[in-house]
Amino acid sequence: MRILGRLSRVTRIAERELKNLFNEFGLERGEFDVLATLRRAGSPSGMTAGALARSSMVTSGAVTNRLDRLVAKGYVTREFDPANRRTVIVALTPTGRDLIDRAVVAHVENERRILAALDDRQQDDLAATLRTLLLSLGDEAP
């Protein structure tokens, strides 16, 4: 209970801090994830909605809801692929690119602040220990 209780408390605190940060940019966590995934992809032409769902590890319905909100906010465009009208291509708008660039910088700073009590070795050890635990529980993420 000692370890899981502490993991639970750290998770609650970290989630609160992340929510506050994303709120500063008018985003929900899932919206941030979509914008960050598109930015990491680096392609100005965007990526398919299906690839976005796979990389986000959420259902296509969840991605659709996030995309609806991001399109309404003017952060992404959604267009049919001219080569295959069944495929939807999602791309960042200039406004969306600017927003995610600023949000990522703030996110990295926020993470540094949250983990400031741990030196680099402790952070590496914690990451490795948590990865071992996650893999033992069937999680496949790196």
- The model's pTM is 0.86
pLDDT tens per residue, range 76-118: 999 887 888 888 899 999 999 999 999 999 999 999 999 999 9
What is the rounded distance in angstroms from the CA atom of residue 135 to the CA atom of residue 95? 38
Give the CB-side neighbour count of residue 142, counting CA atoms within 13 A: 1
Residue 141 has pLDDT above 70, yes or no: no
Is 3.40.50.300 the CATH number for 2-136?
no
Query: How many other β-carbons are positioned within 10 Å of the β-carbon of residue 106?
Result: 13
Residue 142 has pLDDT above 70, yes or no: no
- Name the residue ranges covered by the structural domains of the chain: 2-136
Helices (H), strands (E): how many in the chain?
A: 6, 3
Question: Which of 114, 142, 117, 120 lies closest to 19, judged by CA?
Answer: 114
Mean pLDDT of 52-79: 88
pLDDT in tens, 43-59: 777 888 888 888 876 77
